[in-house]
Amino acid sequence: MFRVLLVSILGVLNGEERQECSFDNEPGEIRLVLESSQPLLNIRIERHDEWGKGAGKVQWSARNIDARAFAADVLMSTVDLMEKAGVKHFQELWPAYPYPQAEVDQVKRVLAVS
């Protein structure tokens, strides 16, 4: 779950105009849509009644967000969660989702954060 978000953020930081990540909400899904016109980002969260089908209902949106600031906030939140929870507790909470260390490291490199 964190991995797909970080991969989408990496896409935007690397020049992709649109990234989506999907979170299962059986039988539907929650979709995060990132649309970039660097350096700004439009963000939309949509609820879909059926997974992978048609347009969803917009639950929240924001326009003209600084893409690098958003990426840094998500990065800091991900790292903070890991520091507070620890590897063992993180894996207990989300056993299907290993901590996305490689993606965290990639975002750090792109943002030049140590």
pLDDT digits (tens, 9 = 90+) for 96-108: 888 899 999 999 9
pTM higher than 0.75: yes
| CA angle (107, 108, 111) in 5-degree steps | 85
pLDDT of 36 > 80? The answer is: yes
Tally of CB atoms within 10 A around 58: 11
pLDDT of 113 > 70? The answer is: no
